[in-house]
């Protein structure tokens, strides 16, 4: 029987431990064997760890897809380094995977099938996401501690297939009667005598997502999707969304959304993307109904700024930008939608109380009623951080179904799914109005109807390629807070088209996958760094496909 503390080693390629630290772990008298570990305690830790892993991965995806400004460098060649990814790699392997394996071991011994089912789904999601971002990763040899300190990386497609097998195992686990149910379910609150109904729907949704994700290289994708559609047991309603709900407690513990912590305490926070805000505040010729929910303007008019706070206002418009498609310097100067352009790594001016910040959705911040004002108020504003991590929403599922129907001719109607997806996104976002409860915090149904009519009219007039662009563009707009779906969709389809380039004309090679973390490459004798042009197996699009 492996000791739980030995599992904490995982592989020395994951963490950077000193020799003394390794000795302490090996001799740790507090190491808990799996048979003595409380499965509910481990399961709770897994549930609480997933949002951090998701948020870290999502952040990188948001930056390279212009949802949030990429400010670490002025090109892809210098925006990230291997050190950048140590945290998310460790969160996946040394954090989640370690706990997941420990839980699965004790769940098998104690006949805790529903614990095991949920753990297998989360493990499958973690593995797929790690593959999506890094390509080939250790799987078959990982987690052996000093018995194998340098695990070989497995083929990325093989790891994906292993993840799908875990999903099937999870569905089977949920179909059995366990010796005990988990004490706490932070995602659905239902792992009790009523049965794991929504967890099964999440499992089938992950398979639906898998088939669509691999459709370029998977001859069985259409049949796989149709089989799931015919069964009908997947996420279709907002009540079935797989999301993590944050609380409003500020300290001991801080349970608030990371977006809120980023902008509603004393720090200046990250820069949002001018390009992404422009998609909601002007790109279509009218405001997206979700605009005041997504973004909060601290300064509602940027026309009076000077070189000291917003120097780019007097800079020439970049010659490689398209003035009809790409904002420069600000998304809307007259109304103060103010972030940064893609790849703007210039110095930080005194603009912390002026730049646009995260709004009410999904981070639990402020609804933008136009009054402006600083958000650095010691965490006393808006919904107090009681937001969500939108991991897999019913609107996302309908966008996936729309894409599959258009490209694979599956059982769905692509146009109907597009309409349904947009409507579900609007309803989801507007539901956050109750968190603030103020007058005027709402989305007007007439505005929603007009928005959908505009999109569908455009869709009806488009070619098939244009239709796909519209589906992926609307998915991109609905995915605020989920850079994983945006990043995968962009590499899979090359859409939305005409993304804002970097401020530097020579942007370098786009991240078809991210670099391996420095800890992994440095400490694993069988690991070597790769180029960011290496493509994940499901991305068979040509080089230079996206930028």
Rounded Cα distance, 443 and 293, in Å: 9
Strand partners, 357: 296
* pLDDT at residue 12 greater than cutoff 50: no
* pLDDT at residue 17 greater than cutoff 50: no
The model's pLDDT over 347-383, given as tens digits with 9 standing for 90+, comes to: 999 999 999 999 999 999 999 999 999 999 999 999 9
Q: What is the pLDDT averaged over residues 201-205?
A: 98
Per-residue confidence (pLDDT) for residue 3, from 0 to 100:
36
Residue 336 structure tokens: 């103060």
Per-residue confidence (pLDDT) for residue 246, from 0 to 100:
98
Mark residue 349 as left, alpha or beta (left: phi above 0; alpha: psi -120 to 50; beta: remaining). beta
Per-residue confidence (pLDDT) for residue 440, from 0 to 100:
66
Residue 446 structure tokens: 């007439």
Q: What is the pLDDT averaged over residues 393-410?
A: 98
Where is pLDDT greater, at 141 or 10?
141
Please count the CA atoms within 13 angstroms of the CA of 42 that sit on its side-chain side: 28
Choose the weakest-confidence range: 90-104, 149-163, 192-206, 222-236: 192-206
Within 8 A by CB and 6+ apart from 453, the residues are none
Q: How confident is the model at residue 436 (pLDDT cuts 50, 70, 90)?
A: confident
Per-residue confidence (pLDDT) for residue 32, from 0 to 100:
57
Per-residue confidence (pLDDT) for residue 191, from 0 to 100:
74
Q: What is the pLDDT averaged over residues 251-258?
A: 96
Q: Which fold has domain 390-493?
A: 1.20.120
The model's pLDDT over 409-430, given as tens digits with 9 standing for 90+, comes to: 999 999 999 999 999 999 999 9
Residue 294 contacts residue 361 (beta carbons within 8 Å): yes
| Whole-number percent of the chain with pLDDT over 90 | 89
Q: What is the pLDDT averaged over residues 37-51?
A: 96
Per-residue confidence (pLDDT) for residue 330, from 0 to 100:
97
Within 8 A by CB and 6+ apart from 97, the residues are 10, 123, 126, 142, 143
Q: What is the pLDDT averaged over residues 448-460?
A: 98
Residue 468 contacts residue 496 (beta carbons within 8 Å): no
Q: What is the pLDDT averaged over residues 227-254?
A: 97
pTM: 0.94
* pLDDT at residue 19 greater than cutoff 70: no
Rounded Cα distance, 303 and 312, in Å: 12
Rounded Cα distance, 446 and 449, in Å: 5
Per-residue confidence (pLDDT) for residue 31, from 0 to 100:
53
Per-residue confidence (pLDDT) for residue 6, from 0 to 100:
34
* pLDDT at residue 388 greater than cutoff 60: yes
Question: Which DSSP category does 391 fall into?
Answer: E
Residue 23 to residues 13, 29, 190, 197, 519, Cα–Cα distance (Å) = 16, 12, 42, 45, 19
Strand partners, 328: 330
Identify the CA nearest to 514 among candidates 70, 8, 218: 70
Q: Pairing between strand 153-154 and 357-358?
A: unpaired
Residue 186 structure tokens: 């932070």
Per-residue confidence (pLDDT) for residue 35, from 0 to 100:
62
Per-residue confidence (pLDDT) for residue 11, from 0 to 100:
36
Per-residue confidence (pLDDT) for residue 438, from 0 to 100:
59
Q: Pairing between strand 242-245 and 388-392?
A: antiparallel
Please tell me the class of the 4-186+513-523 domain. Answer: mainly alpha
Phi/psi at 301 (5° precision): -150, 115
* pLDDT at residue 190 greater than cutoff 90: no
| Whole-number percent of the chain with pLDDT over 70 | 92
Positive or negative: CA dihedral 109, 112, 113, 116: negative
The model's pLDDT over 76-128, given as tens digits with 9 standing for 90+, comes to: 999 999 999 999 999 999 999 999 999 999 999 999 999 999 999 999 999 99
Q: What is the pLDDT averaged over residues 477-495?
A: 98
* pLDDT at residue 37 greater than cutoff 60: yes
Q: How confident is the model at residue 1 (pLDDT cuts 50, 70, 90)?
A: very low
Domain ranges of the chain: 4-186+513-523, 260-387, 390-493
Residue 364 structure tokens: 């639990």
């Amino acid at each position: 029987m492996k000791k739980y503390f030995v599992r904490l080693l995982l592989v020395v390629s994951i963490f950077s431990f000193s020799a003394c630290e390794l000795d302490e772990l090996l001799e740790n008298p507090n190491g808990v064997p799996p048979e003595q570990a409380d499965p509910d305690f481990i399961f709770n830790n897994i549930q609480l760890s997933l949002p951090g892993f998701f948020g870290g991965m999502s952040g990188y995806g948001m930056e390279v897809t212009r949802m949030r400004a990429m400010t670490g460098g002025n090109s892809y060649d210098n925006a990230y380094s291997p050190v950048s990814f140590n945290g998310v790699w460790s969160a996946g392997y040394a954090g989640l995977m370690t706990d997941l394996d420990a839980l699965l071991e004790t769940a098998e011994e104690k006949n805790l099938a529903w614990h095991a089912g949920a753990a297998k789904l989360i493990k499958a999601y973690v593995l797929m996401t790690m593959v999506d971002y890094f390509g080939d990763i250790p799987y078959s040899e990982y987690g052996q501690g000093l018995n194998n300190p340098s695990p070989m990386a497995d083929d990325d497609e093989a790891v994906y297939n292993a993840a799908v097998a875990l999903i099937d195992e999870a569905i089977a686990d949920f179909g059995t009667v366990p010796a005990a149910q988990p004490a706490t379910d932070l995602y659905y609150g239902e792992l009790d005598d009523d049965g794991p109904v929504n967890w099964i729907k999440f499992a089938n949704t992950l398979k639906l997502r898998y088939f669509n994700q691999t459709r370029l290289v998977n001859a069985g994708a259409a049949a796989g999707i149709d089989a799931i559609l015919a069964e009908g047991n997947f996420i279709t309603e907002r009540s079935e969304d797989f999301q993590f709900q944050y609380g409003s407690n500020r300290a001991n513990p801080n349970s608030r959304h990371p977006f809120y912590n980023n902008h509603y305490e004393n720090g200046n926070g990250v820069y949002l993307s001018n390009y992404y805000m422009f998609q909601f505040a002007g790109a279509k010729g009218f405001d997206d109904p979700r605009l005041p929910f997504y973004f909060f303007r601290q300064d509602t008019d940027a026309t009076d700024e000077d070189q000291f706070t917003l120097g780019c206002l007097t800079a020439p418009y970049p010659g490689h930008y398209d003035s009809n498609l790409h904002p420069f310097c600000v998304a809307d100067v007259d109304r103060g939608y103010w972030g940064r352009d893609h790849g703007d790594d210039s110095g930080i001016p005194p603009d912390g109380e002026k730049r646009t910040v995260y709004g009410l959705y999904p981070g639990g911040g402020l609804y933008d009623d136009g009054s402006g004002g600083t958000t650095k108020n010691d965490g006393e504003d808006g919904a107090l951080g009681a937001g969500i991590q939108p991991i897999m929403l019913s609107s996302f599922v309908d966008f996936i179904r729309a894409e599959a129907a258009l490209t694979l001719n599956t059982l769905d109607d692509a146009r109907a799914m597009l309409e349904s997806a947009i409507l579900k996104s609007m309803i989801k976002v507007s539901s956050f109005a109750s968190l603030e409860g103020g007058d005027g915090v709402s989305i007007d149904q007439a505005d929603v109807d007009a928005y959908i009519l505009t999109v569908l009219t455009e869709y009806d007039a488009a070619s098939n390629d244009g239709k796909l662009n519209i589906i992926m563009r609307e998915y991109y707009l609905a995915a605020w807070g989920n850079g994983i779906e945006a990043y995968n969709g962009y590499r899979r389809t090359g859409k939305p088209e005409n993304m804002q380039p970097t401020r530097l004309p020579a942007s370098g090679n786009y991240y078809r996958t991210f670099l391996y973390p420095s800890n992994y490459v440095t400490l694993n004798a069988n690991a070597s760094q790769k180029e960011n042009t290496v493509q994940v197996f499901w991305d068979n699009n040509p080089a230079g496909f996206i930028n």
